[in-house]
Amino acid sequence: MQVLTPDSASWQLAPDTRPLPMSILFAILFYLATLVFVVGLLYRIGVYTRTPAPLKIPTTPAPTTTGGVVLRMAREVLFFESLFKSNLWTWGLGMLFHASLALVLLRHLRYFTEPVWAWVAFIQPFGKYAGITLLLGAAGLWARRLFVERIRYISTPSDHLMLALFFVIAISGLMMTFVAHPDVVAVKGYFLGLMSFNWQALPSSAGLYVHLLMVAALLMIFPISKLLHAPGVFFSPSRNQTDNPREKRHIAAWAKQLESES
Amino acid sequence: MADIAAPAYRIIPIIPALKPGAMEGVRSFVANEKIQEAIGFPGQLVEDWHDRAIARMGELLGKYRSLKVYMDACVHCGACSDKCHYFIGTQDPKNMPVARQDLMRSVYRRYFTLPGKLFPKLVGARDLTREVLDEWYTYFYQCSECRRCSVFCPYGIDTAEVTMAAREILDSVGYGQKYSNEIIGKVHKIGNNLGLPGPALKDTLEGLEEDVKEDTGFDVRFPLDVKGAEVLLITPSADFFAEPHIDGLIGYAKVFHATGTSWTLSSMASEAGNFGMFIGNYEQLRKVALRIREAALELGVKRIVVGECGHAWRVAYSFWNTLTGVGEGADPNDRFAQMLQKQLDHRYRQPSHVCEFTWDMIQDERLTFDKSANDKYIITFHDSCNVARGSSMGGYPGGQFDIPRNIIKAVANHFVEMSPETTHEKTFCCGGGGGLLTDDLLDLRVKGSLPRMEVLQQVADEQGVNFMACICAICKAQFTKIMPIYGFDRRMVGGVHQLVSNAIKLGNK
Ligand code: HEM
Ligand code: SF4
Ligand code: SF4
Ligand code: SF4
């Protein structure tokens, strides 16, 4: 299925062979990054969950039932409904970027599952090209940031760096898919090994190193950056509250306290 | 302020180029010591304002999920950047909603996030300096908390919530706004925003009874403090004497008269407005609202109906149940709320908007109209943003748009819509809401009304519109002030119940 370069063939090590320094470094890095990602994200979600929303502030017109709110949220998350109302360019580019990202991420499941699930196998060819559309989407968003005066004004260096990070990840990924193929079987073995604490060797490939390094960086940045918009959207009171303030009394614990004081 | 002129209409409403700093000099008057202390805030900027501001910010981040999530979630996509009427009218980039939020977000990042602590420049984090504090004061008092930006943000980030938090922090360190805080003081002391004492209110209402008698020949009553009345009407105090507001009040009274509803006003709660919301202070918001609870309990009314006022209806509809128990569905062991909810008649929505009341009566065929009385008007409707985006009517999403329009169509023959990009939930603020209806901000108010005036001009030119109805006391006051600057007649604006008043038949039910 994949072309094995002579270079990568030499990395087909027996399980009992000790992995080389790079393999160890990346193993540590990925354990660390995963830990930061999971713990950081859970912590954030915990904070959002614990912080009360004392007043009913859905942006109306808003659904009056929980089912309606679920639908509203689904439309926001799957189709970026509000963004669609707002700006078709940003919506189109954003959809392209995120849909591609979703496909690319799902495609990567093949590195973590054995045997590969049928639907993951099915999306492989699409996922391959999603890498290109991901890049196009990100490029379009970046162009907006650079050339639209208002958006340039609000951009911080980190906004540009974030896009740069996706660029590097996408380009290094595409290079491996279409140009210099590393030994993906070994890569898979490496990640399956990480997951079962049975370390394997990682093929040596500059492209792969860059790709993995940036992905680890992304994982660690996630819980402390604007990428929190992904969990955040589910906690946004203006979107997730039912519009029934007259029918049901809504009161936060700290606000209830005021009633016993007075 | 003779030099204040209306900005030119945009030929095609393109997004304006940026003019950095255009509005940095426009600041509303700062509250003096007396005003601040009257409502429990420090009289002037405290010595340790920096530490106290950061501490207060931390506290708010823990109390309001909205603030916490909104500080984190923004991706700087810019979708909201051209949606604010103040940005459109002033071109000042700091009036872009996201830039307004960033005034606070930059400080949040510096003091409450790891990247901001380590690499402030990288993530646009800043120390809270005196300049930053002043900038907060300037630009957080250039936001009318209209929530238009939140409609368009993919995460619903509501700049109004950020503005409220910023004003709350400013107040807590002794840096308050004269206009809002003075008014809140008046409510506590006298019972309404305009400082109209009970006896004066009584006189006014008696005068109104005489006027209406003269006008119509009918004994339409304006009862005050009547115990055991069925309906307690809570209305913005501007309705008692400002033009065109008063014509709306006459309209409500005629509706109550024609339907034989027993009703009363209250001298204790002679104000529907609640500026506590504008300054984002929960305690003030609650304290102002509690007067209504007290009045309802004391008068023993069965229903509470709210007059035409945008932010007041948001507070009533969305917050009263929380703040005061006016509503239903309280926990059985929630004694505070149950005390009132047991008294109210739950066959009706509590509270009801006066438009809901009138529309119900129209549907029950308990009102009749002579529509031709409004034939001199070609009418359009300005959705007041607090009604449009912060409340509802009729118990279904969008009722707040249909019901006032239904009433207008029931009482008048000529109704025209303005551009759909500027109505319903996309409506533009009149430019004077959120604690900005003060002459020291007239420049901002004129500029902020540009997008509304543009589309009004369009329907005036193309369809001959000569009356713009709305259901907000602040909108009415703002429009009567700024419309002449745009070359319109100030009498072009009025309430929905002014139109009801014109057409209603009092004789036969
Ligand atoms: C619940 C899932 C998610 C939703 C609803 C969502 C939605 C959005 C929306 C509406 C935007 C603004 C438009 C745009 O610039 O594309 C955006 C921006 C962005 N999203 Fe997401 N997103 C989600 C998950 C993610 C994830 C998992 C990532 C990355 C791992 C991500 C990365 C980004 C980035 C980098 C931007 C900024 C693009 C720019 O700088 O212009 N998103 N997201
Ligand atoms: S709430 Fe209204 S006034 Fe404030 S930033 Fe948003 S659009 Fe502008
Ligand atoms: S639309 Fe929302 S996420 Fe986008 S810049 Fe504005 S506030 Fe931030
Ligand atoms: S005054 Fe009217 S238009 Fe302006 S913010 Fe209030 S409700 Fe909205």
Sign of CA dihedral A174, A180, A182, A184: positive
Atom of ligand 3 nearest to the CA of B81: 6
CA of B53: how far to CAs of B133, B221, B261, B343, in Å? 9, 50, 50, 42
Q: Which of B431, B387, B437 is nearest to B84 (CA)?
A: B431
Q: Is B140 exposed, middle or buried (0-12, 13-18, 19+ CB in 10 A)?
A: buried
d(CA B46, CA B180): 20
- Backbone dihedral region for residue B468 (phi beyond 0: left; psi -120 to 50: alpha; all else: beta): beta
- Closest partner residue to B78 (CB to CB) among A68, A154, A235 is A154
Atom of ligand 4 nearest to the CA of B437: 1
- The residue among B81, B87, B106, B155 with the most chain A CBs within 10 A of its CB, best to mutate, is B155
Q: Do B337 and A249 touch (CB under 8 A)?
A: yes
CA B76 to the chain's CA centroid: 28
A vs B: CB pairs below 8 A: 227
Residue A262: what pLDDT? 54
Helix (H) or strand (E) holding B468: strand B467-470
Q: How many angstroms is it from A147 CA to the middle of ligand 3?
A: 18
Q: How many angstroms is it from B428 CA to the middle of ligand 2?
A: 10
Structure confidence by residue, pLDDT tens digits, B253-290: 999 999 999 999 999 999 999 999 999 999 999 999 99
Whole-angstrom distance between the N-terminal and C-terminal Cα of chain A?
75
B63-90: average pLDDT: 97
Structure confidence by residue, pLDDT tens digits, B33-62: 999 999 999 999 999 999 999 999 999 999
* Phi and psi angles of residue B206, each rounded to the nearest 5 degrees, phi first: -65, -40
Probe residue for ligand 4, chosen from B318, B450, B474 as the CB with the greatest number of ligand atoms within 8 Å: B474
d(CA B457, CA B488): 9
Contact B441, B354 (CB under 8 A): no
- Closest partner residue to B73 (CB to CB) among A158, A233, A245 is A233
Residues of chain B with C-beta less than 8 angstroms from the C-beta of A149: 17-18
Nearest CA distance, A73 vs chain B (angstrom): 10
d(CA B307, CA B222): 14
Three-state DSSP class for residue B439 = helix
Structure confidence by residue, pLDDT tens digits, A25-74: 999 999 999 999 999 999 999 999 999 999 999 999 999 999 999 999 99
Residue B118 Cβ inside 6 Å of ligand 1? The answer reads: no
Residues of chain B with C-beta less than 8 angstroms from the C-beta of A244: 329
Task: Give the amino acid at A27.
Answer: A
Residue A19: what pLDDT? 59
Q: Which residue of B has its CA nearest to A239?
A: B156
Q: How many angstroms is it from A81 CA to the middle of ligand 3?
A: 14
Of B194-198, B446-450, B457-461, the least confident: B194-198
Q: ∠ CA(A43), CA(A44), CA(A49), 5° rounding? A: 95
d(CA B471, CA B313): 10
Long-range contacts of B39-44 (CB under 8 A, 24+ apart): B39/B181, B39/B184, B39/B185, B39/B188, B39/B284, B40/B283, B41/B171, B41/B172, B41/B174, B41/B176, B41/B181, B42/B172, B42/B173, B42/B174, B43/B174, B44/B174
Structure confidence by residue, pLDDT tens digits, A173-218: 999 999 988 999 999 999 999 999 999 999 989 999 999 999 999 9
Percentage, residues of chain B above pLDDT 90: 94
The answer on pLDDT for B2 being more than 70 is no
Query: How many beta carbons lie within 10 A of that of residue A117, not counting itself?
Result: 12
Residue B16: what pLDDT? 83
Is A146 part of the contact surface with chain B (CB cutoff 8 Å)? Answer: no
ipTM rounded to 2 decimals: 0.94
The answer on pLDDT for A14 being more than 60 is no
- The tokens for A168 are 């590097």
Query: Is it true that domain A15-261 has CATH number 1.20.950.20?
Result: yes
Q: How many angstroms is it from A166 CA to the middle of ligand 3?
A: 20
d(CA B123, CA B97): 18
Which residues sit opposite B177 in a β-bridge? Answer: B30
Residue B508: what pLDDT? 54
Q: Do A158 and B115 touch (CB under 8 A)?
A: yes
Nearest CA distance, A60 vs chain B (angstrom): 4
d(CA B261, CA B229): 9
Q: Model-level pTM?
A: 0.95
Cβ contacts of residue A208 below 8 Å, gap of 6+?
A172, A176, A182, A187, A202
| HEC secondary structure over B331-374 | CCCCHHHHHHHCCCCCCCCCCEEHHHHHHHHHHCCCCCECHHHH
